[in-house]
Amino acid sequence: MDDRLLGKLEELEGKHAKTIDDLADPEVLSNQDCYREVSILHAELKPVIEAFREYQAASVEMAEAAEMAASEDDAEMRSYFENVAAEQRSKLDPLEDRLRVMLVPKDPNDDKDVILEIRAAAGGDEAALWGADLYRMYERFAERHGWKTESINTSITGGGGLKDATFSVKGKGAYSRLKYEAGPHRVQRVPKTESQGRIHTSIATVAVLPEAEDVEIELHENDITVDTFRSTGPGGQSVNTTDSAVRLTHIPTGLVVTCQDEKSQLQNKLKAMRVLRARLYQQQIAEQQGEQASARRSQVGTGERSEKIRTYNFKENRVTDHRVGLTLHSLPEILDGSLDAFHTALIAHDAAESLAAESG
């Protein structure tokens, strides 16, 4: 472990020890705000310090075993100590990698709920069908993590595809994972309507927005134009016969949000307000980061076939994430929501880049 990383960990160890003392301090205990602040810091530092102590214990045991092996005359005992030293040595690199990842500053939005937007891009009807497949993939992914999904707005094509869809995912840590799904997703497969068996390439784009709280984005009624209209597409009796669909236009920014999935105009308006708030929050983040283009536009790209974050090739049972160069030959499982291997690689990649930028 290099001196820089060791120094950071020792500094955090001192902070962690102070939080333990503070939590027993009567003055801290009598101040709810102070106690809450110290408790949060203690909870954040505890797993890092536990991993550091695990690293230190393995390092000490390795050194002691190596020293015992060097001074041991009995061949059997020397072999035993050498094996112990090798076993402890094998733990050090994975623990160090884990500690490096843990030291990367946490995205403040990681624990937020998410609003996802899926849109068919290049590829016509096949792109819409691919959008529907992605929707199901994220529903299954959410189920695997115990998160809840809620439809906000869907536009279904005649062939059962999705022209576009907006839905929320609620659960602790949803954004920390799903943010890696933002961008163009390319599929290569033979469409059901293709009589000659030719492989088509299509694109659906995914935008991932952290859901904003009311206190983070304040919306003023005077800044919003509300239009109502009759819902289209499949729905219950009242969905297609009343003006329950809602379109919100945010006058200062020109952002437009439509919601028609609910039977009630009020429910549609409330859902549309959530999406509008999330888009404005994402725009605010982009401005704070000094980006000229909105974060949402940078996420989805232009939707051209040449742009992609991931390729799903049905003929070869292959899914490749182009950001980290990871290829998995388990397409059915991935479309059933098994995305964790990609996210693990992407999280490690981000951590390595952050640490490199910090040291540079």
Buried b (16+ CB within 10 A) or exposed e, 222-248: eebeeeeeebeeebeeebeeeebbbbb
User: Looking at residue 254, what is its pLDDT?
Assistant: 86
- Contact between residue 166 and residue 115 where contact means Cβ atoms under 8 Å apart: yes
- Contact between residue 187 and residue 124 where contact means Cβ atoms under 8 Å apart: no
pTM over 0.75: no
The SS3 of residue 287 is helix
130: nearest Cα among 199, 181, 202: 202
Residue 116 confidence (pLDDT) above 70 = yes
Residue 312 confidence (pLDDT) above 70 = yes
Band the pLDDT of 239: cuts 50, 70, 90: very low
pLDDT digits (tens, 9 = 90+) for 80-98: 999 999 999 999 999 988 8
pLDDT digits (tens, 9 = 90+) for 173-231: 899 999 999 999 999 998 876 667 788 899 999 999 988 876 567 777 888 888 888 77
User: Looking at residue 303, what is its pLDDT?
Assistant: 45
133: nearest Cα among 200, 208, 180, 187: 187
> How many distinct helices (H) and strands (E) make up the chain?
10, 11
User: Looking at residue 133, what is its pLDDT?
Assistant: 94
